[in-house]
Amino acid sequence: ALVSMRQLLDHAAENSYGLPAFNVNNLEQMRAIMEAADEVNAPVIVQASAGARKYAGAPFLRHLILAAVEEFPHIPVVMHQDHGASPEVCQRSIQLGFSSVMMDGSLLSDAKTPSTYEYNVDVTRKTVYMAHACGVSVEGEIGCLGNLETGDAGEEDGVGAAGKLSHEQMLTSVDEAARFVQDTGVDALAIAIGTSHGAYKFTRKPTGDVLRIDRIREIHERLPNTHLVMHGSSSVPQEWLQVINEYGGKIPETYGVPVEEIVEGIKYGVRKVNIDTDLRLASTGAIRRFLATHPAEFDPRKYFTETIKAMKQVCIDRYVAFGAAGHA
């Protein structure tokens, strides 16, 4: 059944587990996520980014998710809109039937420029007012997602629109997080603790100075009843980088967020863990390997089946590691 995010995150908090929230753009990702959830009996959060809506079209994504609900009626599914750039964008998603939206007011509506606290509160509060009237959950974001190694904020390519920022400018402050939750009434709060979107998060296995799990703990101590969200939480599996590079790819050395660090965050209130890049890497590796080893094959179902298998295993691993298995 389609459920709101608040329902799932409350259950996750009561039972001390975390939920991966996978980005979805196409049928293969949707199947991988659902087959994995079905196999380990886990609840599902799927999210559509602005890029996904542009690629597939919001109605296609919506029906893909509704199809999942129809085929797997025993699995609770949240249809979440990832990184909404304005209350208007969120309103459109609510109208389309999304059961949860993210209002990312940490950036202006260009989705690039860091905003002020007042702007963030204003757009987030408006979204909460509208969404709650419709039974829809809201995720807000406070702090500036970015790379503490380089000081680059925002962008996936690591070139921040804001230029170089200091650690304290990028990290979510405990005081501001507390004020923001009070001022907006969000159901879940995305925080900045040194992770960034995409495959290039860290140049080496991250240590505590660039991946600030200690800050999650401090925020959780102040806000024990707030569901925390980690963005940029792909682990960037070295095995998949190896497969991609072995079969013609060229991805430089890079590291993600180790699964064990996410599990540590879950002990301190992280309930939603956003993952997109890991499924992209698994999918690309599986396709490269299949096409290289089956040069005469041209039925797309053959190589797309390989991508489903590869992504499904990543999903199963995360459901199990985060403790979500068995909770559907």
Sketch the per residue contact string, 6 through 25, with ligand 13P: x for CB under 6 A, - otherwise. -----------------x--
Position among 23, 137, 184, 235 found at the interface with ligand G3H (CB under 6 A): 23
Is residue 271 a contact point for Zn ion (CB under 5 A)?
no
Task: Give the residue at shortest CB distance from ligand G3H.
Answer: 51
Helix (H) or strand (E) holding 261: helix 259-267
Q: What angle do CA 232, 237, 243 make, to 5 degrees?
A: 135
Is residue 234 a contact point for ligand 13P (CB under 6 A)?
yes
Compare residues 133 and 192 and give the one whose CB is closer to ligand 13P: 192
> What is the rounded distance in angstroms from the CA atom of residue 89 to the CA atom of residue 277?
24
> What is the rounded distance in angstroms from the CA atom of residue 83 to the CA atom of residue 171?
18
DSSP track, 137-200 = EEEEEES--EETTTTEES-TTS--TT-B--HHHHSPPHHHHHHHHHHH--SEEEE-SS--SSS-
Closest to 275 (Cα-Cα) out of 309, 316, 303: 316
Q: How many CB atoms lie within 10 A of CB 242?
A: 13
Is position 82 annotated as part of the catalytic site?
yes
Beta strands 146-147; 152-153: pairing state: antiparallel
Position among 114, 154, 232, 269 found at the interface with ligand 13P (CB under 6 A): 232
Compare residues 50 and 69 and give the one whose CB is closer to ligand G3H: 50
Sketch the per residue contact string, 42 through 71, with ligand G3H: x for CB under 6 A, - otherwise. -------xxxx-------------------
Q: Give the range of 4-12, 105-113, 240-248, 269-277 binding Zn ion by CB under 5 A.
A: 269-277
The CB-of-274 to Zn ion minimum distance in angstroms stands at 5
Query: Does 197 belong to an annotated binding site?
Result: yes
**Active-site residue set:** 82
Enumerate the known binding-site residues for Zn(2+): 83, 104, 141, 197, 231
Enumerate the known binding-site residues: 83, 104, 141, 197-198, 231-234, 274-277
